[in-house]
Amino acid sequence: MNWQNVLTENGYRVSGPRRLVMRVLESNAQPLTPLEIYQVLSQSGQALGMVSVYRALDLLTELGLVCVVFNPDGSAGYVAGEGGHHHHILCQRCRQAIAFAGSEDLSSLIQRVEAETKFQVSDHLLQLFGLCPDCQETKADALEEK
């Protein structure tokens, strides 16, 4: 997905702050908080205020170019979007976030919830937590050393 095209097709400019935020997110596999994005930019000599980071994230999230991923402690981080319907799995040790394709397998659950609660479900958020292959290996190595 070419995020610049998505911005222009929706009537938005590819502004400096949007470009900087997307570059940071595209270069990180871990979800980053707005403060972490600001710090990465500051350390690289890019002058961008926190308000600009938040504004860029709001628009990029609204357009589906950036996704919110929740850390095990409940705090929200942001990752570059994958396009299409997808979800994320987050490593609880190294915080690497990987997207996986969404599916319609939730439709029976959603129908049951709607019947039980009388709500009309309009959207959902599914995120899984676990250990990535590298962290599983590290954990196994640590157990063998004991």
Tell me: the pLDDT tens digits for 50-108?
Answer: 999 999 999 999 998 999 999 888 889 999 987 777 888 999 999 999 988 876 678 88
DSSP 101: E
Q: Does an H or E element contain 79, and which?
A: strand 76-80
- Give the integer Cα–Cα distance in Å for 83 and 97: 15
Tell me: the pLDDT tens digits for 111-125?
Answer: 999 999 999 998 888
Query: Is residue 127 classed as helix, strand or coil in its secondary structure?
Result: strand
Residue 142 pLDDT level (bands cut at 50, 70, 90) = low
- Give the integer Cα–Cα distance in Å for 89 and 129: 5
Q: How many domains does the chain have?
A: 1
* Residues sharing a CB contact under 8 Å with residue 93, sequence separation 6 or more, in sequence order: 131, 132, 135, 138, 139
CATH number of the structural domain spanning residue 94: 1.10.10.10
pTM for the complete prediction?
A: 0.78
Domain coverage including residue 112: 3-145
Q: What are phi and psi of 78, to 5 degrees?
A: -125, 140
